[in-house]
Amino acid sequence: MNVDIAIVGGGPVGASLARALATAGLSLALVEPKTPRPLPAAGFDQRVYALNGHSRRFLERCGIWQGLSLERIAPVREMRVFGDDASKIEFSAYRSGVAELATIVEEANLRQALQSALKAQLNLSLFSGVECVGAQWGDRGVALSLSDGRRIDARLVVAADGPDSALRNAAGITARVHEYAHTGVVANFRTERAHRDTAYQWFLHSGVLALLPLPGNHVSMVWSAADADARELLGASDEELAQRVAQASSGLFGKLQPVSPTAGFPLRRMRASRLIAPRLALIGDTAHNVHPLAGQGLNLGFGDVQALADVLAARGMEKDVGAVSLLRRFERSRGEDLLVMEAVTDGLKALFESNLPGVERLRNAGLRLANRISPLKRLLVKRALG
């Protein structure tokens, strides 16, 4: 099969690129070995995303947002971040002149909306349940070998196959990896008290705890903890975990009742040395990972998608979608955002983990000061909204 672009990896980033190119006049193939998880019959998906306004508008333009089960999403209208003493900084959508700071969406909900939109797309061939097992690069294109024996010839391959990307490795692109020795522990709870569309985050000596609003009196927990502490959390009974979360969150929500299994995933920072190679572009987790404390990982991936789709849509008289000039334009457009987000997340993590004399007092004083300076808060909100 011959196509203009083959996208390997059908998660939210790879699949959204296929949708973003629906009207670009290009033939597409999407290869995805995994089938989307169904929405939970009861409770909520363990994995949720905090999508900023830029990502939401992008999903709306692509016809993806309209396919979400809207009763399962929750707005974030307030955000409160606490230091390891009484210091805090508060953000308000109302005071920032926007409807919401972010929207919390389950991964399964997003994947189902994407799958529904892709099935009706005329310029797209879907290869579901098969893997890309080989790639041969040539001057005019790339030949992909699939696990079922089929072959795809493409002028451009876009790798969205995850942080351990076989395509990135096959192309000889190295990645700089820093293991945090931390685990993200996730679970969902029913709360005794209403969250009032407010997201909370605590920088604790035991890690970073975030409680994000879900529909009704429910919250999604992400607790980024040192591996040893995370093992204790993962090994705790439902009742023990609920008590530990309630204690760490100062009893803000009253009694907590677990409504999903607990899961954990290792945390690391990863940055590919390049976003492009001959007839190859990297997007999403294949290109970069950042610490989840800012909740910006998927938003960065959608930024990659929009940048690449814009470059390809504006290719003008260039008929070769794998042309080096187009790929370089894409890579240049992503440099600043990726660098800034990596610096911010790593800087915050280092600041709140430091035990150096005087640092604790300085960081908490910084939170109080930032909370009193309205222009600074507006700048932070603007950056977070995309």
Cα–Cα nearest to 234, from 188, 181, 183, 190: 183
The lowest-confidence range among 66-75, 321-330, 348-357 is 348-357
d(Cα 57, Cα 70) in Å, to the nearest integer? 15
pLDDT digits (tens, 9 = 90+) for 85-121: 667 788 888 888 889 999 999 999 999 999 999 998 9
pLDDT at 164: 93
DSSP track, 276-306: EETTEEE-GGGTEE--GGG--HHHHHHHHHH
pLDDT at 338: 78
pLDDT at 335: 84
- HSE-up of residue 13 (Cα within 13 Å, Cβ side): 28
- HSE-up of residue 357 (Cα within 13 Å, Cβ side): 0
The three-point CA angle 69-74-80 to 5° equals 165
pLDDT at 365: 54
Would you say how long the chain is, in residues? 386
The lowest-confidence range among 105-119, 172-186, 354-368 is 354-368
Q: Is the pLDDT of residue 51 over 80?
A: yes
The lowest-confidence range among 197-201, 271-275, 290-294, 373-377 is 373-377
d(Cα 262, Cα 264) in Å, to the nearest integer? 7
pLDDT above 90 coverage of the chain, percent: 70
Q: What share of the chain is helix, strand, coil (3-state, %, to 5)?
A: 40, 30, 30
Mean pLDDT of 330-356: 68
Q: Is the pLDDT of residue 158 over 50?
A: yes
Q: Is the pLDDT of residue 370 over 70?
A: no
Single pTM value for the model: 0.89
In the chain, DSSP assigns E strands to 2-8, 28-32, 48-51, 74-76, 78-82, 88-92, 102-106, 124-128, 132-137, 142-146, 151-159, 175-191, 198-204, 207-214, 218-226, 256-258, 263-272, 276-277, 280-282, 288-289
Q: What are phi and psi of 319, to 5 degrees?
A: -85, -20
Question: Regarding beta strands 78-82 and 198-204, do their DSSP bridges make them parallel or antiparallel, or are they unpaired?
Answer: parallel
Q: Is the pLDDT of residue 223 over 60?
A: yes
pLDDT at 344: 60
> Three-state SS for 323?
coil
Domains of the chain as residue ranges with CATH: 2-47+107-177+268-349 (3.50.50.60), 70-106+180-267+352-385 (3.30.9.10)
Cβ-proximal residues to 366 (8 Å cutoff; 6+ apart), any chain: none
Per-residue pLDDT band at 300 (split at 50, 70, 90): very high
- HSE-up of residue 339 (Cα within 13 Å, Cβ side): 8
The lowest-confidence range among 15-24, 280-289, 360-369 is 360-369
Cα–Cα nearest to 10, from 276, 283, 291: 283
The answer to whether 164 touches 151, Cβ cutoff 8 Å, is: no
pLDDT at 376: 43
Mean pLDDT of 110-136: 94
Tokens of 97: 């002149």
Q: Is the pLDDT of residue 299 over 50?
A: yes
